[in-house]
Structure 1
Amino acid sequence: MAEETGIVGLGNAGLAVASALLVHGPVVGFDRSEERRQLAMDAGITVVETLQGLEGRAPVILLSLPKPEASLAVAGDLAGWSGPPELVIETSTVTPDTAQKSAALLDAAGIGYVDAAIAGGVASMAAGEITFFLGGSDANKAAARPVLERVASRIFDLGSVGAGMGTKVVNNGVMHAVMVVLIEAFAMARKLDIPTDTLVEILNREEGLLRPLIHRVGERMQDGKYAAGMSVSNARKDSVLALETAQQLGVPIFATLAAHTPYEIAEAKGMGNQDYAALAKLWEDWCDVGFRR
């Protein structure tokens, strides 16, 4: 009989992952909620009534928990078992710091750990088409791959413990900030009677939303080439026009207003003639980082 794969946390994400894993072999899970345990049983997953009920049953246990403190608490419990798992795969969304603390707890007990952050929604999880951001030691990542590959469409190997979660946190931060900028933009567009579908089409061009990412980050920032192009001064001028238009239309803006400040700083520093990707140099100074390849 195939070995069971364990999972702690049977919420929407956990249950979707467990269901996808079930296609490839037996899955045993635990959730504090009786309702979630029943839903898992209805899906064909074996459940236990307590976390301790997983002890000795599964060599690999995945975590899909709602809060970082829950992940730390479970890691501490697993580290105290007399019959611990060989490997813990963290799929909950936690900070890199939480991942590193959990890894240290488990490593002290001789248990491997990887952070395998999930990118995508519940539908892709249930379909077994998950994108994972993977962090951990080479040995632990190699041990995790056979399990993850059962339900993965792609696995990004990001490096050491915490790198997977860090990537997800950064990715989600971008998505959530961009969402606010887009809402502000579409509110202005509606005030101007610009059809929403038309603006979606405009922004979806190669010269639209992808331009700052592919050209300015992917090329100019990484090559350190800031000559010519759209200047800081001109970008600042356009940003001012957007702010003025929003004020005239009575559209509250938050993210767009905050994003204007670095243009003022760069202009004051004499960077006006450089491509506006040169704003990256402000963060290089502030954070002591480098963006060049």
Structure 2
Amino acid sequence: MSDTVSLCGLGNMGGAVAGRLAAHGPLRVFDLDAERVAEVAKAPQVSAVAEVAQLAESDVVVLSLPTPKVSLQVIAELAPRMRAGGVIVETGTVNPADMAEELKICAAHGIGIVDAAILSGVSQMAGGTATLLVGGEESDVDKVTGVLAAISATITRFGPVGSGMAAKVINNAVAHAVMVVLAEAGALGAATGVSGSALAALLSGPEAGLTRPLTHRFVERILRGEYDGGMPTEAARKDSTLALAMAQDTGVPLFGIQGAHTVYELGVSEGLGRLDYASIATLWERWTGRPMTETSNDKGDEE
């Protein structure tokens, strides 16, 4: 078995990953950009190869590529050439469906596949403070534990192949949606004499609008399926209606808050009016046929 790790892709993030890996052992690298390769290969323990197929000499190959399509092309070239029992680690952001396609190719050649989504920026990766969200068969993840630890000291394992990527995509979707709502909140504040700093102080409190929906309503109610008591959905609908009226009075366009209001209208019409407003989650359970309640064994483990 080869102790040399291979890395395909030396973009901004890939270059930072290369630095982390090279600090812990010999590293073989490839990228279509010759200048990037030359720069990374200046570091001790780093050797460059002329063709992507040569990366298959390693038993662990890390991918940091720009698109799912490119990852699939590289895997299709590497998997047939790697020794059985080798593992490919996908760090580029892809969807679970893409991971399923990667798994199909790898499984046909006796190669494992692990998704290790990077939940941080380039500077955090370079500084060793990035977080990896990991999915894959336990035996495959165990084989690459040392490689993952070299990349980051914070590793959260979620479950089967694709679950790490799903967690990242969901996290980013929440962040981007929240950003829209915060921009709307800031605009409402500016229109009604509430300063941005005062609004930030309010929203960041443990009982306020950003934190409480996660720590109480999602964790303590939705995941447990407990909706008795609390703030009724009909009251949440009333408060949402007031926000829409305020926006209309002050001429502030709303998109995220406006869209969210529709769910409370649906919740009340579906008989959730007297239940805690976290009960809107049951609408999605009904629509998808998948419950959100879980046991402690369903949760990811941080290493």
TM-score by length of 2: 0.90
Task: Report SS of the residue matched to 1:88.
Answer: strand
Residues in 2 aligned to 1:176 and 1:82: alpha-carbon distance in whole angstroms? 39
Residues in 2 aligned to 1:20 and 1:7: alpha-carbon distance in whole angstroms? 11
- Report the equivalent of 2:241: 240
Aligned counterparts, 1:105-120, within 5 A: 105-120=105-120
Residues in 2 aligned to 1:59 and 1:232: alpha-carbon distance in whole angstroms? 54
Task: Report SS of the residue matched to 1:114.
Answer: strand
Deviates more, 1:102-111 or 1:45-54: 45-54
**TM-superposition CA deviations, 1:201-254 (whole Å, max 9, x none):** 111110121100010010111222212211111111111111121222222221
- Report the equivalent of 2:128: 128
- Report the equivalent of 2:77: 77
- Report the equivalent of 2:15: 15
1:60 deviation in Å?
A: 1.0
The residue type equivalent to 1:66 in the other structure is P
Q: Is the 8 A contact 2:85 2:110 kept in 1?
A: no
Q: Is the 8 A contact 1:129 1:151 kept in 2?
A: no
**TM-superposition CA deviations, 1:73-121 (whole Å, max 9, x none):** 1111112326688211011100111111111101211212111111111
Residues in 2 aligned to 1:224 and 1:129: alpha-carbon distance in whole angstroms? 35
Residues in 2 aligned to 1:81 and 1:215: alpha-carbon distance in whole angstroms? 50
- Report the equivalent of 1:261: 262
Residues in 2 aligned to 1:12 and 1:95: alpha-carbon distance in whole angstroms? 21
1:128 deviation in Å?
A: 2.1
Task: Report SS of the residue matched to 1:150.
Answer: helix
Task: Report SS of the residue matched to 1:109.
Answer: coil
Q: Is the 8 A contact 1:27 1:46 kept in 2?
A: yes
The residue type equivalent to 1:81 in the other structure is R
- Report the equivalent of 2:35: 35
- Report the equivalent of 1:250: 251
- For residues 207 and 52 of structure 1, do their structure 2 counterparts lie closer, same or farther at Cα, with a shift above 3 Å needed? same
Residues in 2 aligned to 1:250 and 1:37: alpha-carbon distance in whole angstroms? 53
**TM-superposition CA deviations, 1:160-208 (whole Å, max 9, x none):** 1111111111111111111111111112212223221211111111012
Q: Is the 8 A contact 1:55 1:85 kept in 2?
A: no
The residue type equivalent to 1:269 in the other structure is E
Q: Is the 8 A contact 1:60 1:85 kept in 2?
A: no
**TM-superposition CA deviations, 1:30-69 (whole Å, max 9, x none):** 111233323323555432333123242x221100111111
Name structure 2 gaps, 5 residues minimum: 295-303
Q: Is the 8 A contact 2:59 2:82 kept in 1?
A: no
| Aligned residue pair count | 291
Verify: 1:163 aligned to 2:159, yes or no: no
- For residues 185 and 82 of structure 1, do their structure 2 counterparts lie closer, same or farther at Cα, with a shift above 3 Å needed? closer
Residues in 2 aligned to 1:134 and 1:82: alpha-carbon distance in whole angstroms? 22
- For residues 248 and 46 of structure 1, do their structure 2 counterparts lie closer, same or farther at Cα, with a shift above 3 Å needed? farther
Residues in 1 aligned to 2:154 and 2:205: alpha-carbon distance in whole angstroms? 25
Residues in 1 aligned to 2:170 and 2:62: alpha-carbon distance in whole angstroms? 22
- For residues 34 and 252 of structure 1, do their structure 2 counterparts lie closer, same or farther at Cα, with a shift above 3 Å needed? farther
Residues in 1 aligned to 2:249 and 2:82: alpha-carbon distance in whole angstroms? 68
- Report the equivalent of 1:49: 50
Residues in 2 aligned to 1:201 and 1:280: alpha-carbon distance in whole angstroms? 28
Deviates more, 1:164-173 or 1:188-197: 188-197
